[in-house]
Amino acid sequence: MRFPLIRAIYRKEMLDMFRDRRTMISMLVVPLVVFPLVISVMMRFATRMEANAETEAKTMGIAARVTTPSVREALEKLGVPVKEKGDLRAAVEKKEVAAALEERGETIEVFVDSSNPSSTAAGDRIRTALSELKDQRIRESLRHSGIPESVLTPFTVKRTNIAGERKMAGSVWGTMLGYILLLLMFTGGMYPVIDMTAGEKERKTLEAFLASPAQRREIVMGKTLAAITAIIMTAMLTLASMVYSLHSNRLATKSEEMRNVMKTIPLDANTLAMLVATLIPVAIFAASLMFAIALFARSFKEGQSYLTPLALLVIFPALLGGLPGLQSTPALFLIPIFNASLVIRGIMLGDLSTVNFAVALGANLVYAAIAFVIATRQFEKESVLFRS
């Protein structure tokens, strides 16, 4: 292979890539603008919905049919209006009140609409108040009987999480990072690949490549390297965007545990190096596979129709590989895409074995080589290049 010719083709494709609006949108706008915006809006929307549910529960009030003064007193301490309604169930269904309760002997039934956040919030507050009242009554009965309250708690159960913040953060990040990275790698590389194959056919510029001194294999190498660059750029920009978005929006959640998870980003030099080593063979495989498929297309739109289903097929193995509790065996690390998602999760958790990492890396390098050979052979066929 003549590397000066490959470099010239690579530079030409990269220049075309940065001039193409659709490619720039898939490579830059989606990871750097759309992704942070979606995360920010979703987190703030969830926080706003939670706050609105609490406010609406206080405004709507609750309905009660009780006979015990202490129960009514406990409800009044909630700071919400306590109303009288004939049909308690209907009142909740019609949203006349957020929740309702009825005392029948020794049973108190609480009516809530679990599909309504404000009703759920009101029901939780009622159950908390009644639980405190029940504990108070038990303690009073024990005192009157001369029995110490310690009989209620003969021993204490303490739950200790040995995972630590780093591993907890790795669990959360590992679940979603592989799926998002792999999906955006395919979608980010799709437009450059279509443009340098079907797009060249449509513009009648592919013949100029074929008439150049470069061999078919050198042309494929230059074009594939440009596609790999686009895919790796998309992956790195997505990773940086995710880190920034989740870290900057961590205060939007009320959960202290989630704040710590989002604050503790398990990324160091070793982790980053392993991620890059995992993604490079996947990028070569993706670029070569998409290149081979897109060569059959005669126009840009036709190329989209061929590669869009491929990007959708990536979703399932990428998502499944990041699921927690999956028993990892060396055989699973042979499955393309799925193994990359497994490896990314293992890297973020810090429990990936060297054997499994080597198996996945070796398998993906083999798949990448096979895909590149297929792409080269397809490019050497006149029936594929000039398909009518």
Closest CA to 331 of 308, 311, 360: 360
pTM for the whole thing? 0.74
SS3 at position 55? helix
Please report the pLDDT score of residue 272 as a whole number: 85
Sign for the CA dihedral angle at 289, 2, 377, 19 comes to positive
Domains in the chain, CATH or no CATH each: 3-48+164-385 (no CATH), 61-152 (3.40.190)
CA separation for the pair 167, 47 (Å, rounded): 25
Report pLDDT for 199: 86
- How far is Cα 268 from Cα 248, in angstroms, rounded to an integer? 19
Measure Cα distances from 241 to 38, 52, 182, 247 in Å. 11, 29, 15, 10
For residue 83, give the 3-state DSSP assignment: strand
* Amino acid occupying residue 105: G
Q: What is the signed CA dihedral for 56, 58, 59, 61, rounded to 10 degrees?
A: 110
Give 280's contacts (C-beta < 8 A, 6+ positions apart).
228, 232
Residue ranges for the chain with pLDDT beneath 70: 165-166, 246-267, 387-388
What stretches of the chain show up as alpha helix (H) in DSSP? 3-19, 21-24, 35-60, 69-76, 88-93, 117-144, 164-196, 198-203, 206-211, 216-248, 256-263, 269-294, 300-321, 338-349, 354-379, 382-385
Q: Which of 128, 130, 94 is nearest to 113 (CA)?
A: 94
DSSP 165-186: HHHHHHHHHHHHHHHHHHHHHH
- 3-state SS class at 111: strand
3-state secondary structure of 208: helix
pLDDT of residue 211: 81
Beta pairing partners, 82? 62
